Structures are given as C-alpha cells and as structure tokens.
Amino acid sequence: MVYKSAMKDFEYHIMLSVSQQFSQTNLLLKMLKKFDSIVPDNTDEGELIMELKDNLSRSKYLIILDDVWEVNLWNQLKNALPDNKNGSRVLMTSRFIDVAKSADPGMPAYELDFLNDKESRDLLLKKAFFYQELDEEYPNDLLEIADELAKKCKGLPLALIVLGGILSTKDHTHSAWERVLRTMDWQSDGRGCMDVLAMSYDDMPYYLKTCFLYLASFPEDYKISSKRLIKMWIAEGFIPCEGRKSMEEIAEDCLEKLFQRCMIQVSSRHLNGLIRKCRVHDLLRDLAMYQAGKENFITVLPNPQDTNYPDTTTRRVSFQSCHPQLIKYVGPNTRSLLYFFPKDVPKYNEFRLLKVLELVGVDIPVKQSLTGLDKLIHLKYLGFRKCSSNLTIPVDSLGCLKNLETLDLRGISAEGTIPSNLWEIDALRHVFFAKHDYVVLPPNAYLRNLQTIKWVKLDGNPWPVHKIPCLTSLRRLSLVTFSQWDNTIHLLGTLPHLISLKITAYMEMLPNEIVYPRMLPNYQNLQTLFLEGRWPESVTLEASLLPPHLIKLTLSLSFLFHDPMEELGKLTSLKELRLREYVYLGKKMVCSAGFTNLERLEVDFEETKVFTVAKGVMPKLKYLDKSYDLILELPPELMHLDKDIMD
C-alpha cells in the first residue's frame, strides 16, 4: 500500500525482488521492459546499462530492490542509475546490515524494530481469530496464555503470524492453547523464528506436509499458479480421497489449509474466492528446502544452502538456474523433474519412471524438437510454460502415455497431428492446447473423466455430439468455430459441472443456436463466459439471453448496434466484465444503473470514444482499465480509479 501511494509521485517506478541468486542481466531487462524497450537477445550488459541509463535520465524514478543478499549488487547497478537531481530514489531492503550500508556508507541504514509485547499479542490474536479485533471478546485466561505464547516469538512478525496459524486450527480454549505452549519444543538458543516455523511444520498432518515440501520445487519469490500446483500434487499422489469431492476440490482445500496456517501467502484470488496464485515467504521456503533435503523428498539444484549435493536416489529434482552439468545428480529412480529457465533442452528421456515433467522458459537459439516422450509411460503430468518458439513437441507420440492426467501444451509449439489414441486415455483429466493449435476430436474419443479442454474445433468434428451429455466431469471448455454450427450447442447446457465456457467464432458471426432460441440461460452453473464473434443483427443483447449466475463475462468483436450496458447491469452476480474491440459500434456507452457487485472492469474499444458511469452505479468497483484514448466520465466516488490509470 505504501509503494502504491508513493509511486504516483514518480514517472517511472518498479519494485524488483532480487533474492539470493540474482542475475544482473535479468534485473536490467526487467527495468528496461517498463520502458517498452526492444532489446535483442545478444545484447551485452554494457549496452543494457547504457540503454537503461538513457531512459532513466529523462524521468523521475523510484526503484525498489527487495531482499538484496550481495554487497556488490549496488556497485554493479549504480552505473545504470543516473542522479537527475529531480528527487529520484532507489530503496534497498536486506536482511543483512552490511548489505544495506554498502549502498551509501554516509547514510545510516533504517533498521526495523521488533514488535513490543502488546503489538506481538495483537498480531498473534489477529491471525488466530481471523482478524477479530476487540480484546474484550477474548476471555482473560486466553489473553494470559496468548501473552506467554507471544513472548516466545521474541517480537518477530513472521513467527507470530505462523504461530497464529497453528492456534487457528486449535480450539479457542485456555487448555488447548496451553497444550501448544507445553508440548512445543521451545528452544532457548535465539532461533525463535525458525523454531516456530519448524513447530508449525511438525503440527501439520502428513498429507499437508508433503504438499508444503513440494513448494520448495519453485524458485524464490516465484508466484505459483494454484491450478498448476494442484495438478502436480494430484499427479504425485499427495491428495487423499475424501467422500464425493473431486481430487481437485480436496487439493484446493489443502491449499486453503496451508494459507490458514500461514505457511503460504496468497498473491491473488479468483472471483469465486479460490486461491489463484500464491508464494512462499523466504524463511518458510528455507524451511521447506531444509526439510525436503533432510527427508530426501526434493533436491533443488543449485542449492545455496548445501553445496554437497546428495546422491542420485532422490525422487524429485528441481533445476532453478542454468547449470547443465548438474544433470549428473539426477538418478534413474527420479519421479519428478522441474526445469526453470534453462538455456538448453534438458535431458529427460533417460528417466523412465518420471510422473511429472515441467519445463518453464526454455530459451534456445535454434530449432529443436523434444523426442523420446513416448518412452515415459508413467508420466501423469506434462506441462510447458513460456518456452521459446524454437522448441517444438511432436504430438503424434503422446497417445502412448497411458497414465497421463494433465497435458498442457500452451507454452510450446506443437508439430504433427494429435493421435486419436490420446483421447482413449482413461486417466486424462485436463488438456490445454494453444488457441491456434485447436484440435478435432476423433469418433472414438473417451472423455468421461475429462474436466478441462482448450481449444476444440467443432466444425466438421467427427465426434458424435449426442455424447455431450456423457461429459459428466467437464468443468471448463473452450471452442473454436469457422462457420455456423448445427443445432447441438444446447446439449452443453445439460452438463452439471460446466462452470467456464469460451467460444470463438472466426470470420463469421456467433451461431444463432447460442443466442436464439435463448440457449445460454440453460447454463445454470456457468460462472465464466467468453464470447468472441459477431452477434446476429436480429438479436439485441439482453440479460435474459445470458446465464443467470455469471461471475465473469468477456465480450469481443460483438459488433452490437445497441448499447449493451443497461442489460449487462442487470447481471447481479457479475464481478468482472471485459469489453474488448468492436463490442459496440456506437460512439458513447452509458452505465445508468446496476452492476451492484462488479469489482473489475476492462474496456478496450475501437469505435466507442466515451464511457459514462452514473452516480451510484458500480458501488464495489476496485479495478478499472481502459484503452488509451477512451474518455471516462465517472462519478466522484470512482474518480480515483481514473487517476490510478493515469499514474
């Protein structure tokens, strides 16, 4: 909040998490990215420094370097940061006093004080009682034991937060809290924070411990996608069965339990309240790495905590920087391989027992194809993120992976034809293709356990549409069409668990079957709807044409002749609305009423030039984004959102 408030006074502002294994080149590139600078791949650091210095010389800037470990960082970066005599500022945070002093020996470093006894107890109770604030609501005997527990944390906020997480899982009684005080292994060696963190780990049930230890697989300060993490947990077999709940629902509960215990930090949530992205505090990640190494659960390479690498019996390996020679520490029994930002294609096909294979940010200068995947017959999770376009995957061999549960090809170029036997894999639950790599389902596709599929082309699809009601597990579906569809779209409305539907109509208008005779209202459970394509001219967009319980709606290339905002405002459950190019052909849009629960609004128009919101409309709006030249006419209570955009 302080950063957001301060950044309004600066033309250029950025906060960078440096961490222990920082790369000067990466820091320079991230800072240049804010200027939309196009930097060739082979640019050396000297040129990057000059480019950044030139850009910053024309700005009043605020740069925050968070969690700096190395004394020489400032010496490496200061040549890129000019003193413009205009109030520009560089702020460094570190856990080491010598690092802080190195930036400016003439200025005293600001050291944070420990919390006093009252502040410690208040923070502990805030976490234990989920932000309940009034002291008088707590029994006196509970306050007394809370004081004793708080003192054990020695004024360290993280220790208090994590201990509060432990207490939140216990009965709120004196005896239950005294049991925590009595049974925990409190040490007197000054390691108060780490002791509490270790106690919190010991207090977790076994299945939750494995979920927590797996977080060591991700780099420091990495924002972890919950959906991706959950699929990995399931592939690893960490998630216990629990009644009639799906494995994904149980895994979501596990993630919430880790949050309740303050073992993770939530970066963002979905509109339905579920965790979207999370991260792990540095000290908790240190604990996870230490405990994972101790139990031979995961090996992180390279590991700055331990330069004596273990033997090759470890079951899981995470490569978190480019060190090809470290592949020798991966043994034949390895079950999981995660690669983050390697500069070459890692060797994976030697490890025939792999269950999880994830490649993130593979950056190679020449074209190369991933071969030998068909040998990994035990594979359950195969995922790619943000890989170079030079990296391709021959998809014709994927049908051999009979245990595959999750296939995510959105971050890699696919070559060849999807084999029909891929769709016969009984275990398959989640399939993601890039939008331009849409697939056609074969007649024999077995999709009963499928929960997610992106993207499917329905035109000329030989798969019999009368089988749609058999897709009883389907929750998320993305479709592409190049022409009119036959009258089968209404069958999707019979799917009991469908919560997300995306439809893109290329070159043609949206099928009449969607909007007439009013098929979308049959989608009673649908929460997210994405419609890209021209609406039939004979149809006016009305709230009654849309699913009644929508939380998120995106419209694009609709070419509507009538302003849709009055009708969209009647969707009382709507929390996020995205209106993209050519939604409406008029010059002005007016929101005169409704949108009682809308929190996020994105408007990116071509034809429309003015967007007006009446007083009292959108009372819960928190976020607003717009196209550059769109004029906003907002009531006083929303004017701060327009200012945030300008800043």
| Regions in the chain scoring below 70 on pLDDT | 1-5, 37, 41, 130-136, 184-192, 303-313, 322-329, 459-462, 464-465, 482-489, 506-521, 642-647
- Strands 430-432 and 452-457, by their bridges, are parallel
The residue type of 371 is: T
Cα distance between residue 86 and residue 61, in whole Å: 9
The reply to whether 507 falls in a domain is no
Look at residues 186, 202, 218 and tell me which one is the last residue of a structural domain. Answer: 202
b or e along 267-299 (b: 16 or more beta carbons within 10 Å of the residue's beta carbon)? eeebbeeebbbbbbbbbbbbbbbbbbbeeebbb
- pTM of the full structure: 0.81
Question: What CATH number corresponds to the domain at position 49?
Answer: 3.40.50.300
- Residue 1 to residue 8: CA distance in whole angstroms: 12
Check whether residue 337 and residue 429 sit in a common domain. yes
Supply the DSSP symbol for 215.
Answer: G
pLDDT attached to residue 643: 59
Q: With b meaning 16 or more CB within 10 Å and e meaning fewer, what string describes 211-239? A: bbbbbbbbbbbbebbbbbbbbbbbbbebb
Cross-strand bridge partners of residue 392: 369, 413
Domain stops at, among 153, 169, 202: 202
Same domain, 87 and 170: no
93 and 131 share a domain?
no
Identify whether 138 is part of a domain: yes
Contact 476, 500 (CB under 8 A): yes
Helix (H, G, I), strand (E, B) or coil at 392: strand
User: What's the rounded Cα separation, in Å, for the pair 2 and 10?
Assistant: 13
In a domain, 163, yes or no: yes
CA distances from 355 to 56, 251, 264, 351, 475 (A): 47, 18, 25, 10, 24
pLDDT of residue 257: 93
Give pairs for 150-153: CB < 8 Å, separation 24+: 150/117, 150/120, 150/121, 150/123, 150/124, 151/117, 151/120, 152/181, 152/186, 152/192, 152/196, 153/120, 153/124, 153/192, 153/193, 153/196
Residue 136 sits in the same domain as residue 156? yes
What gap in Å lies between CA 433 and CA 437, rounded to an integer?
6
Split into its structural domains, the chain has a count of: 4
Question: Are 272 and 328 in a shared domain?
Answer: no
The verdict on 326 and 433 lying in the same domain is yes
Contact 303, 289 (CB under 8 A): yes
- Is the residue at 257 inside a domain? yes
Q: Which of 412, 437, 439, 416 is nearest to 428 (CA)?
A: 439
Indicate the residue among 288, 306, 331 that finishes a domain.
288
In this structure, is residue 554 part of a structural domain?
no
Long-range contacts of residues 296-302, Cβ cutoff 8 Å, at least 24 apart: 297/210, 297/213, 298/213, 298/214, 298/216, 298/217, 298/336, 299/329, 300/216, 300/217, 301/326, 301/329, 302/21, 302/326
Length of the chain: 647
Say if residues 74 and 47 touch (Cβ distance below 8 Å). Answer: no
* Model pLDDT for residues 351-389, shown as the tens digit of each residue: 889 999 999 988 777 888 888 888 999 999 999 988 888
Cα torsion angle, 584, 588, 589, 593, sign = negative
Tell me if 172 is assigned to some domain. yes
Q: Where are the alpha helices (DSSP H) in 404-464?
A: none
**How would you classify residue 581: left for phi > 0, otherwise alpha for psi between -120 and 50, otherwise beta?**
beta
Q: In this predicted structure, what is the pLDDT of residue 342?
A: 75
pLDDT tens-digit map of 255-284? 999 998 889 999 999 988 899 999 998 889
Same domain, 332 and 257: no
Alpha-helix runs per DSSP H in 153-202: 157-168, 174-183, 192-202
Q: Are residues 122 and 135 in the same domain?
A: yes
Nearest to 490 by CA among 513, 467, 457, 466: 513
Same domain, 94 and 19: yes
Cβ-based neighbours of 581, under 8 Å, separated by 6 or more: 556, 557, 604, 605, 606
* Distance of alpha carbon 626 from alpha carbon 370, whole angstroms: 41
Residue 534 lies in a domain: no
The residue among 472, 493, 489, 471 whose CA lies nearest residue 481 is 489
CATH number at residue 232: 1.10.10
Rounded Cα–Cα distance for residues 43 and 31 (Å): 15
Reference 452, options 405, 417, 488; nearest CA is: 405
Quick one: 432 and 338 in the same domain? yes
- The rounded distance, in Å, linking the Cα atoms of 378 and 66 is 41
Separation of CA 128 from chain center:
26
Residue 577 counted as domain residue: no
- The 10s digit of each residue's pLDDT in 444-457 is 777 889 999 998 87
Angle at 444 between CA 442 and CA 445, to 5 degrees: 70
Question: Please, which residues have CB within 8 angstroms of residue 15's CB and are 6 or more apart in sequence?
Answer: 3, 64, 66
Please write down the long-range contacts of 103-108, taking CB distance under 8 Å and 24 or more positions apart: 103/74
What is the rounded distance in angstroms from the CA atom of residue 61 to the CA atom of residue 32? 13
49 plus 128 within the same structural domain:
no
At 517 the pLDDT is 40
Same-domain pairing of 218 and 143: no
- Domain span at residue 18? 2-103
